[in-house]
Amino acid sequence: MTIPRVTHDEILNYFTDGEYLERRQAHEERLEVLAQFKASWLTALGDAVELPPDTQMWKWISMSKWDISLLVHSLEDLRCRVKHGLDVRDPYGHAIRHFSAALARRVRGKYGPPTARKAA
């Protein structure tokens, strides 16, 4: 008689009442959104603007309420801005600030100002 092999994931899932696999799946979905955002950044901007660090990208994803369409539209806005030139003293900083502002405007347009979102 052989004893069935139990995996680490099965043990964790048993002791957390199934929450472990749900959390793991949610984490994998979040990583997929990050990968989509990075791919969109590289597609829209290529080498024109360096890819920001993951921590900055996570802030933008959170700011957009996980709405990838808001991120993509803001990237298109940044791509148009890059065509017309960025600040020569700090082009990367200018691009990051421009993208952040464009995203904030789109989030505000879709969800309303921050005070209205808290009250709702």
What CA–CA distances, in Å, run from 78 to 11, 23, 29, 113? 47, 34, 26, 22
49 CA to centre of own chain: 17
What angle do helix axes 19-45 and 68-83 make, rounded to 10 degrees? 20
Mean of pLDDT over the chain: 85
Spatial CA neighbour of 23 closest among 33, 13, 14, 32: 13
All structural domains of the chain with their residue ranges:
8-119
The answer to whether 99 and 70 are in contact (CB under 8 A) is no
Average pLDDT over residues 84-101: 91
Report if pTM > 0.75.
Answer: no
- Does the structure show a pLDDT above 80 at 6? no
Share of the chain above pLDDT 90, in %: 52
User: What's the distance, Cα to Cα, between the start and end of the chain in Å?
Assistant: 61
Share of the chain above pLDDT 70, in %: 88
- Does the structure show a pLDDT above 70 at 89? yes
> Per residue in 21-63, pLDDT tens?
677 778 888 899 999 999 999 999 988 889 999 999 999 999 9
